[in-house]
Amino acid sequence: SMERAIHADKLSMIGQLAAGVAHEIRNPLTSINGFIKLLKDSQAKEYYYEIIESELKRIEFITNELLILAKPNAIRFQKTCLRHLLEQVIELMSVQALMSDVEIVCEWMADEIFISCEPVKIKQVFINLLKNGIEAMPDGGVINLIALKENESALIQVQDQGCGIPPDQLAKIGQPFFTTKDSGTGLGIMITYNIIHHHGGTISIESCESAGTTFSVRFPLKEEVWSTT
Ligand code: ADP
Ligand code: MG
């Protein structure tokens, strides 16, 4: 089992991001260009329209994901009941979990945990983590969601029994566009990291190949922290 904290050197991240965006958007653009040329004298117009449409959707999806990153200052903090928030997330993910035969089991090691956050953004964090957990268990299994208080932090762990992450890939998790999935964007963990970072929190991964992966997310409990931001 290997553990590492996810953090990012800002400058190298911007460079990687720019290169990644250019690459990810150039591919569908090149293909759209090609198919538009083919359309001019083709019988199979419908087929080409479909490809063009799906390539445009991919560009739209990627730019939407990137726009989330571009608005870090818009956070409106409010006192939020973590349990209530996580229950809403589980509800949102229940259909996808059911379809993959995954059960999400919650363990509350504290009665009430309140954090200062923008709920929509923190929901996005746990949607991303649960989605990855479900995708790591194509044959089903259990995801444990554990919430507790640890020192001055709220600690939330998302624990799956999925494929795990090979040690040589662990350092790449969270780099823009790093994905091992055919239809992945490789933006989920980076967006997750960014949201957590802007809330004064941390995220780390621990993974054991073919045994499972645990993401640990920590948020400060003290509300004074936010009075200066
Ligand atoms: P995407 O899900 O689109 O691939 P992410 O940024 O969410 O992008 O994840 C990046 C990569 O990290 C995934 O492609 C996968 O290889 C790895 N990963 C993330 N979460 C898990 C997990 N729970 N189990 C195994 N691998 C994971
Ligand atoms: Mg993902």
Over residues 84-132, the pLDDT tens digits come to 999 999 999 999 999 999 999 999 988 789 999 999 899 999 999 999 9
pLDDT band, residue 66 (cuts 50/70/90): confident
**Cα–Cα nearest to 81, from 143, 147, 130, 146:** 147
Tell me if the pTM is above 0.95.
Answer: no
- Looking at 30-34, 38-42, 127-131, 221-225, which range is the least confident one? 221-225
Ligand 1 centroid – CA 103 distance (Å): 19
pLDDT for 7 equals 67
**CA–centroid distance, residue 175 to ligand 2 (Å):** 12
Pocket lining: 163 vs ligand 1, CB cutoff 6 Å = yes
DSSP track, 189-223:
HHHHHHHHHHTT-EEEEEEETTTEEEEEEEEE--G
In whole angstroms, what separates CA 71 from the centre of its chain? Answer: 16
- Which residue among 102, 159, 173, 216 is best mutated to probe the pocket of ligand 1, counting the most ligand atoms within 8 A of its Cβ? 173
ipTM: 0.99
d(CA 75, CA 132) in angstroms, rounded, equals 24
Most confident of 110-114, 148-152, 214-218: 214-218
Q: What residues pair up with 3 in beta bridges, in sequence order?
A: 206
Ligand closest to 159 (CA) is 1
Identify the pLDDT of residue 2: 66
Q: Could you tell me the distance, in angstroms and rounded to a whole number, from the CA of residue 177 to the centre of ligand 2?
A: 10
Question: Is any ligand 1 atom within 6 A of the Cβ of residue 165?
Answer: yes
Amino acid identity of residue 163, one-letter, is: C
Six-digit token string for 14:
């911007």
Distance 6 CA to ligand 1 centre (A): 13
